[in-house]
Structure 1
Amino acid sequence: MSTLHDGLFGAGEAARLFSDGAEIRAMLVVEGALAQVQGRLGVIPETAAQAIHRASLEVTLDPAALAGPAAQNGVPVPGLVAAFRAAMGAPEHAQFVHWGATSQDIQDTGLMLRLRQALAEAEAQTRATAEALARLAEAHAELPMAARTYGQVATPTSFGAVAAGWGWPLLDLLEEVEALRASSLWVSLSGAAGTGAALGPRAAETRARLAEALGLTDPGRSWHADRGPVLRLADWAARLAAALAKMGQDMIALTQTGIGEVRLGATGGSSTMPQKANPVGPSALVALAGQARAQQAALHAAASPLGQRDGAAWFGEWIALPRLWLSALAALGHARTLAEGIEPVPEAMAAGLGLAHGGAYAEALSFALARRMPRPEAQAEAKRLAQLAAAAGRTLAEMARAAHPDLDPGTFEAAAQLGQAPAEARAFAARVRAGA
């Protein structure tokens, strides 16, 4: 990641999960846990298992020293195993490192350890963002503003309902997390071609014990050529980025000149235009979601490996997966900051309801008129009055009251036309408070 742009697109401390050091450390943890399990099962000598496990926690390997072997072998594990054995300085024990496993077992399991942490970080940040949106939704459940469809003023809604609309998809994603952990955070241990032959007669038990030791799920089978677990985790992250991008798009629209219905907690400036307060955070949300979707497509393109294991498909995964997760985590940082700092501008929202000559009340007018005439005629009359208002430079309310003096006064009052918006805003806030 660029140092220059890290504040804009960086994932903060979470980015370390996808660093070379974190990848190496995770693979050493797997090697150590595997040896420990095999020692307890009598697959390798207990003394060797203890030495390997202890060394896996103490040894530090230089990523630069492993780069050459990784390029030559097409995978970092052979170089890592060789360097780990050398660093142990006890060949009688080191010979049992990586016993019966294959490179993909170690790398995939190490990846799952890191993805578990990434998912936990994403869950925490998503929950904090939802909590900030819940406070907005509850505080402004009845603050009227114009809803917009196709970019045009539609009918009244409330800012609380808009905030809740940003938050509901986050709650849906949070509800999936526990099932996602069980269905996707898998241990991998099945040997060279997925048969576990070199692991011996206790291969299945070894895999189950390794899963238990690492806090992962034992899928009960080889998944070298089944990238479903990786895709499920990646798709969740991509959908999260997409949900945050919707919030970003709305904030960009609501801060446009001539609308200005919200104020962001932080904005960007121009190098030449002093008046500018650019929606930098919302724009980053949109850009990061685009990056996440692009990497998601790349992952799916690489999700059909050849045979029992495939280098090309695996390489594609290494390129795309970190970028996707880093994009989602970076977006969460922006989203939380925005949700905690955004403020509505009530006077601008009131002005927005008056745009298009008060056309936001046209639907309400058509239903008010339908109490005295057939619905099709009422719709036609409301449209006629809206066109007259536009032509005369007057408001729809003025034209309608002139033509139909006995109309219900609430027809043109935003607070009376919010429908279920306040209830949905409060329902969202209640669900967040309940820990959903």
Structure 2
Amino acid sequence: MSDLLEPGRHRAVGLGDDGLWRAMLEVERAWLAALVAQGKATDLHLRTLTAAIATDLPRPAPETIENAGSPVVELVRILRSAVDEGTAQHVHRGLTSQDVLDTALMLLAKDALGRADTYLTLTAASLAELARTHRETVMAGRTLTQYAVPVTFGLKAAQWLVGVLDARDAIRGAQLPVQVGGAAGTRSLLGELTGSPDAVIESFATELGLLPALPWQTRRTPITRVADVLAEACAAAGVIASNVLFLGRPEIGEVREGRSAGKGTSSTMPQKANPVLSVLVRSAALQVPPLVGHLHTCSALATDERPDGAWHAEWPSFTRVLTLTVTALSQTADLLGGLEIDAAAMTARAQQAAPELLAERGGGGEPADYLGSATSFVDQVLARWDRG
């Protein structure tokens, strides 16, 4: 990932390598806490590990991660070397590297979904206000790039709002399970450690704010379903951005991104104010679906009891979906919060294009007389928003 080539990536801080490292450390701490809860380790062991994690532990060198094939092997070595021998015997006991990394990815997903929910709610509030304000603002409807029949900008905003609310509902319904399967998905060592493995899993999940679950080392739906709901959110944002880009063209001029000092400047044309937020959101909406498709391909190739490469291929795509979507939704909230609407331009264009917009009715009358159920649809969507 590149700060130079991914403008706005700072909005997703904490979802990259630093966040993953902290998440893996938290998984190891929570696992030991679960063992303590079942009497298989002591409070002193947990306090010792927690204190070690709170220090500035060294990060593994890239070549050592390559040698191990994942970052978890080095993580465990670093943790065990940072505590006494008695505590070290309990660190990672009963887990395998996939358990730690998959559960850490669910923690990152939890963070990303929470932020996505917040940004979608901010966007929805702005869209609801636009829908109310422009409930009867007539504009030219367009289908297949050509004039169709009259619509209202309130209806357009309401349709965007439905997409955002649907995406938020999907995000709120996402299931985030812990992964604990052990070496081959049987939890064999955990069964030897305790007579109540399920109780350990329950405690572990509660400690992390995730859900207990059967092992999913080769059943990758927890990954693909998170990616799917984020793709839906990114698509909802992409629809908004694409419309703003079209309606904001100088020859149309019906909407415009809010202007601020330094935003949208050109390196050669000082008069320009580029719609940078819309451009970046649309860019993310174009990038996320192929990444999600890649994750489904990896899921289909998850063979044996632990995959040989398909699992590894998920990591960059999954974290990329998280960062792209959080960044885009944050940008969308800012875009809608400052969007400028030129209602007069909308009305004037509808009047000018009346012969084409009213062609199905014989070309007579005013555009405002032919809106069908547009205002009723707006009211239905606003009622949904008002219900929360």
Q: What is the TM-score of this pair, normalised by structure 1?
A: 0.83
CA contact (8 A) 2:28 2:100 kept: yes
1:297 and 2:293 are equivalent in the alignment:
yes
User: Where in structure 2 are the equivalents of 1:200-219 lying within 5 Å?
Assistant: 200=192, 201-219=195-213
Equivalent residue, structure 2, for 1:314:
311
Match of 1:124 among 108, 118, 133: 118
Equivalent residue, structure 2, for 1:188:
179
Equivalent residue, structure 2, for 1:368:
none
1:424 and 2:377 are equivalent in the alignment:
yes
Equivalent residue, structure 2, for 1:250:
243
Equivalent residue, structure 1, for 2:167:
173
Report the secondary structure of 1:43's partner residue.
Answer: coil
CA distance in 2, matches of 1:340, 1:358: 35
Residue type of the alignment partner of 2:208 = L
Equivalent residue, structure 2, for 1:82:
77
CA distance in 2, matches of 1:66, 1:103: 17
CA distance in 2, matches of 1:283, 1:60: 39
CA contact (8 A) 1:139 1:160 kept: yes
CA contact (8 A) 2:244 2:256 kept: no
1:282 and 2:278 are equivalent in the alignment:
yes
Equivalent residue, structure 1, for 2:327:
330
CA distance in 2, matches of 1:242, 1:11: 21
CA contact (8 A) 1:11 1:327 kept: no
CA distance in 1, matches of 2:44, 2:328: 47
By how many angstroms is 1:66 displaced? 4.2
1:70 and 2:51 are equivalent in the alignment:
no
Equivalent residue, structure 2, for 1:41:
38
CA contact (8 A) 2:138 2:368 kept: yes
CA distance in 1, matches of 2:49, 2:276: 49
CA distance 1:129–1:150, shift in 2 (3 Å): same
CA distance 1:430–1:68, shift in 2 (3 Å): same
Name which structure has the greater RCO, CA cutoff 8 Å, separation 6+: 2
CA distance 1:53–1:271, shift in 2 (3 Å): closer
Report the secondary structure of 2:120's partner residue.
Answer: helix
1:159 and 2:153 are equivalent in the alignment:
yes
Of the structure 1 ranges 41-50 and 207-216, higher mean CA displacement relative to structure 2 is found in 41-50
Report the secondary structure of 2:335's partner residue.
Answer: helix
Match of 1:227 among 220, 233, 240: 220
Equivalent residue, structure 1, for 2:2:
2
1:433 and 2:383 are equivalent in the alignment:
no
By how many angstroms is 1:46 displaced? 4.8
By how many angstroms is 1:274 displaced? 4.6
CA distance 1:231–1:171, shift in 2 (3 Å): same
Report the secondary structure of 1:333's partner residue.
Answer: helix
What per-residue deviation string (whole Å, max 9, x for no partner) do you get for residues 146-197 of structure 1? 11001111111111111111111111122223321xxx21011121101111
What per-residue deviation string (whole Å, max 9, x for no partner) do you get for residues 272-326 of structure 1? 4454333222222211111111211221121131211114111211110111111
CA distance in 2, matches of 1:358, 1:236: 42
Listed as ranges, the gaps of 5+ residues in structure 2 are none
Q: What is the TM-score of this pair, normalised by structure 2?
A: 0.92
Report the secondary structure of 1:147's partner residue.
Answer: strand
Match of 1:106 among 95, 100, 107: 100
Match of 1:91 among 61, 79, 85: 85
Residue type of the alignment partner of 2:378 = A
Report the secondary structure of 2:99's partner residue.
Answer: helix
CA distance in 2, matches of 1:339, 1:429: 17
CA distance in 1, matches of 2:267, 2:46: 61
CA contact (8 A) 1:135 1:429 kept: no
Q: Which has the higher helix share?
A: 1
Report the secondary structure of 2:149's partner residue.
Answer: strand
By how many angstroms is 1:39 displaced? 2.1
Report the secondary structure of 1:98's partner residue.
Answer: coil
CA distance in 1, matches of 2:157, 2:86: 63
1:341 and 2:294 are equivalent in the alignment:
no
CA distance in 1, matches of 2:335, 2:44: 54
Residue type of the alignment partner of 1:117 = D
CA contact (8 A) 1:24 1:61 kept: no
Listed as ranges, the gaps of 5+ residues in structure 1 are 366-381, 383-395, 398-411
CA distance in 1, matches of 2:269, 2:88: 65
Of the structure 1 ranges 426-435 and 153-162, higher mean CA displacement relative to structure 2 is found in 426-435
By how many angstroms is 1:135 displaced? 0.5
CA distance in 2, matches of 1:278, 1:46: 58
What per-residue deviation string (whole Å, max 9, x for no partner) do you get for residues 91-144 of structure 1? 122121111110111111111112111100000100100100100100110010
CA distance 1:51–1:276, shift in 2 (3 Å): closer
CA distance in 2, matches of 1:223, 1:4: 37
